[in-house]
């Protein structure tokens, strides 16, 4: 059997990962509402295409949306092409029987006729069964290098939203809110150090906060610039930061 090679980020399904905890600001307001609509029984949003640059929080939103469905005892499948290099299209077989299918990073989908055909069949089957589909991508559907016109036209019919990059002020707000939920003190000096010395992508910043929380507990030290420096030194070479 062909095996997917995996490079998992060391992030657990944090209880704090939820749609409610994603930054709700003018840049993200409509998307959050659209995702809530997708989660609901609404007929409007059954196929959702969420796209945006790296680090805008697509992965976070994908997992928090998945978590909502799981909490509602629905049956979901989650296929990510970010770190998983599936060599066999049989990973898609039977997924239309799930209530919701999540496909992450379709822009990294193998550029191959058999994969495109497999996804095309899955979309048709989901459509026929009434299953929901949420696909994420760095690129809008129109810009994807898809050879099969039938697949591309189906992707174009999804309800598509761009997850925009949020401003630095909004990032600080997101960090503060996340820190508050974890009961962490995360003062302005540390915030500005983190913003200036690590990846500025929201998802990386939020992951860093999770790591800082664990690290601070392990070291029994409160969060400070020096602790951030130690963590970064410790995580050198990590794929997440």
Chain center to CA of 21: 14
Give the interface segment with another protein, choosing from 6-14, 165-173, 182-190, 197-205 (CB under 8 A).
6-14
Q: Which pair of tokens denotes residue 27?
A: 């840049």
- Of residues 15-54, those binding another protein (CB under 8 A): 17, 29-30, 33-34, 37, 41, 43-46
The residues, ordered by sequence, that sit 6+ positions from 146 with a Cβ below 8 Å of its Cβ are 116, 152, 155
**Positive or negative: CA dihedral 147, 148, 153, 156:** negative
The whole-angstrom separation of Cα 8 and Cα 123 is 27
Q: By three-state DSSP, how is residue 9 classified?
A: coil
Contact track, another protein, 107-126, x by CB under 8 A: ----------x--xx--x--
Owner of token pair 């939820």 = 18
Contact track, another protein, 152-191, x by CB under 8 A: xxx-xxxxxxx-----------------------------
Q: Is 210 in the site for another protein (CB under 8 A)?
A: no
Contact with another protein (CB under 8 A) among 23, 39, 58, 76? 76
Contact with another protein (CB under 8 A) among 130, 183, 217, 237? 130
- In angstroms, give the least distance from the CB of 204 to another protein: 15
Q: Is 12 in the site for another protein (CB under 8 A)?
A: yes
Q: By three-state DSSP, how is residue 49 classified?
A: strand
């Amino acid at each position: 059997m062909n095996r997917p090679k995996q490079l998992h980020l060391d992030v657990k399904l944090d209880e704090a990962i939820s749609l409610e905890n994603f930054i709700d600001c003018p840049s993200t307001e409509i998307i959050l509402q659209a995702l809530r609509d997708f989660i609901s029984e609404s007929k409007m949003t059954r196929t959702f295409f969420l796209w945006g640059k790296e680090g805008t929080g697509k992965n976070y939103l994908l997992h928090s949306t998945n978590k909502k469905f799981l909490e509602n005892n629905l049956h979901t499948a989650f296929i990510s092409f970010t770190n998983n290099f599936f060599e066999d299209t049989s990973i898609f077989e039977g997924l239309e029987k799930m209530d919701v299918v999540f496909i992450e990073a379709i822009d990294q989908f193998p550029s191959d006729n058999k994969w495109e055909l497999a996804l095309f069949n899955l979309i048709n089957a989901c459509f026929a069964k009434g299953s929901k589909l949420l696909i994420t991508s760095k690129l809008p559907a129109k810009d994807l290098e898809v050879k099969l016109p039938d697949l591309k036209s189906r992707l174009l019919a999804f309800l598509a939203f761009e997850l925009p990059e949020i401003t630095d002020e909004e990032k600080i707000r997101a960090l503060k809110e996340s820190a508050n939920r974890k009961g962490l003190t995360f003062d302005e000096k540390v915030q500005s150090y983190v913003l200036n010395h690590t990846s500025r992508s929201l998802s990386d910043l939020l992951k860093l906060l999770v790591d800082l929380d664990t690290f601070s507990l392990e070291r029994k030290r409160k969060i400070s610039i020096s602790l951030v420096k130690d963590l970064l030194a410790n995580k050198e070479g990590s794929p997440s930061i």
